[in-house]
Chains A and B, each alone.
Chain A
């Protein structure tokens, strides 16, 4: 306990420099605006900001990215409340009671209560992360190569089998990601794989794939659908954002319930903020004495999902930090960023790069605090920025992606490659092929191959090593269970869709 608090304090000290604080603040602001813009989610926000971290120290780079990540979670609610247009998927639920409050002339109150709920949820998730992550990390620290391999495989299977609406589509994206991730020189054997140009010898950088799929791909999708926001000038008084003690008491328990649900759902792979918000809303409606108020501007219906959404961030970081298992596209990008900064994701992360991890957790807490203040006091600034950026969003993102891909290693080949992946990303979105499994397998391909090789060397070529070691066997059973659950749940979902009367 004392050791955890000591490490956390060290993390805070790392961030208490003017540079790091500015970086966290910048990330939070950018994240809020990106989150509020329909069509751009946390993954796109992270993809756009990765190039800025290339020359930064790892603690500052991660601080910027967690600021963006948390900011996106805060931002989605702004347009949901003001114009009934959710900035991202989890904010769909925010529309249900946030927009009616706006129509009743209580928009300032809705923005204020949702900001406070987001803060409480975020803080709850971070506290659970702080105390749970070291415990889990200490349990899994003795894992060997076979366990690592099975863990990574479990992560891949869960995201592949639970993402999207078709198992085959998700599997196709996973194997495609592997093929992309295996391009380049195999440094163990010295053989080259699919190196059709010399630039491919070092492999395809995951940043190029992410920027293409989430940056260019999303923009092309927006260009097709021409999403335009009709945001007016906000004319709320600052006092309207601050709820009274009575109002806070009314939403206190819903906030805590939402935080708990969000954290638990966040920990589960491939669940994430969207499921957390829907579940929190449904739970709150069941707990309410007057459920008929929901959908007509009930503050509890706004507070609980907002808390759940932000709590899911801390929850999602627990399996990522302790086991190297990301549960979503956003955390898969964070996993790639860990690798980019020379860290080794997995059970040893907290031992080998503990200082950086604690600095990142502290940055998350600081960003959460900055976001509360800015979302209570700077709403007019955010709205005006969104109005300004939204008009020319597509062209600005395209230009930023091109310069960002060049900044990766000053090569124009990467920029062309990014454009290719952008077009590919657009097509996958069109055909409803999930992108999360592809990104994850691009990031994990080389580690997975490496652990597979090491495991077989340990057993002198016997594949039974994965079934004879107890932990590895347990993870294998979990993988089989995930397979069964993934296939059965999708079949049930299809039947329900085909026959809604029976459902």
Chain B
């Protein structure tokens, strides 16, 4: 049975396997010392072995890590909205994106009132601008279109 945990281990082992040819192609030794491919090859090999051992140890187990049923939509919404925030930070502007993101999450996902969502979003947006832009002088745009 393919559980979440086993799937995770298989994915880890496959990724390590896909990276292995590159590690093996690198020189393993240099004059009197190790080459750039020495440690990566060992570490990737160890990753695959550790994943296989954990899979073998888990073979009799009938339990699996579960995401609490009603939490799945919330989790998906959080991950998607954060991905959209990063996309918007790049193309729309950092501060505006952060304000809109916080408002949307508090209002639509957390189901709080629009007024409290707007208050938190504006205060946080202003705080982030003051701390990162004014104090730490990190270059960040409020909105790319103005």
Contact = CB atoms under 8 A, between A and B. Distances in A.
Interface in B98-134: 98, 101-102, 105-106, 110, 112, 120, 124, 128, 131-132
* Residue among A179, A219, A459 having the largest count of chain B Cβ atoms under 10 Å: A179
The 9 closest A-B pairs by CB, nearest first: A172-B50, A186-B36, A456-B33, A224-B71, A191-B36, A175-B46, A395-B105, A178-B43, A461-B32
A430 B65 contact: yes
Which of B33, B47, B94 has the most chain A CB atoms inside 10 A of its CB? B33
A403 interface: yes
A287 interface: no
B71 A460 contact: no
B102 A178 contact: no
Given A186-B36, A396-B124, 9 more contacts: A182-B40, A189-B36, A193-B26, A224-B74, A392-B106, A394-B105, A403-B140, A415-B86, A461-B32
Interface stretch (A278-286, A357-365, A405-413): A405-413
Given A178-B43, A191-B27, A168 B12 contact: no
A225 B68 contact: yes
Contact of A188 (B36, B74, B112): B36
B19 A194 contact: yes
Interface string B20-41: 0011001101101111110110
A7 B5 CA distance: 52
Given A392-B110, A431-B5, A223 B32 contact: no
A402 B29 CA distance: 40
A128 B75 CA distance: 45
A394 to B, nearest CB: 7
A13 B99 CA distance: 41
A168 B54 contact: yes
Interface string A385-424: 0000001101110111011001100101001100100010
Q: Chain A interface secondary structure, helix, strand, loop or mixed?
A: helix
The number of chain B residues touching the other chain, given as a range, is 35 or more
A176 B8 CA distance: 13
A176 to B, nearest CB: 6
Nearest to A404: B132
B73 to A, nearest CB: 11
Contacts of B14: none
Contacts of A454: 33
A406 B89 contact: yes
Given A194-B22, A396-B102, A456-B34, A449 B131 contact: no
Interface of A: 51-52, 54-55, 166, 168-169, 171-172, 175-176, 178-179, 182, 186, 188-189, 191, 193-194, 216, 219-220, 223-226, 391-392, 394-396, 398-400, 402-403, 406-407, 410, 412, 415-416, 419, 423, 427, 430-432, 445, 449, 452-454, 456-457, 459-461
A402 B34 CA distance: 38
Nearest to A401: B82
B43 A182 contact: yes
Contacts of B29: 461
A445 B40 CA distance: 10
Contact of A193 (B5, B23, B131): B23
A456 B138 CA distance: 43
A460 B31 CA distance: 8
B2 interface: no
Contacts of B136: 52, 54-55, 407
Contacts of A175: 43-44, 46-47, 50
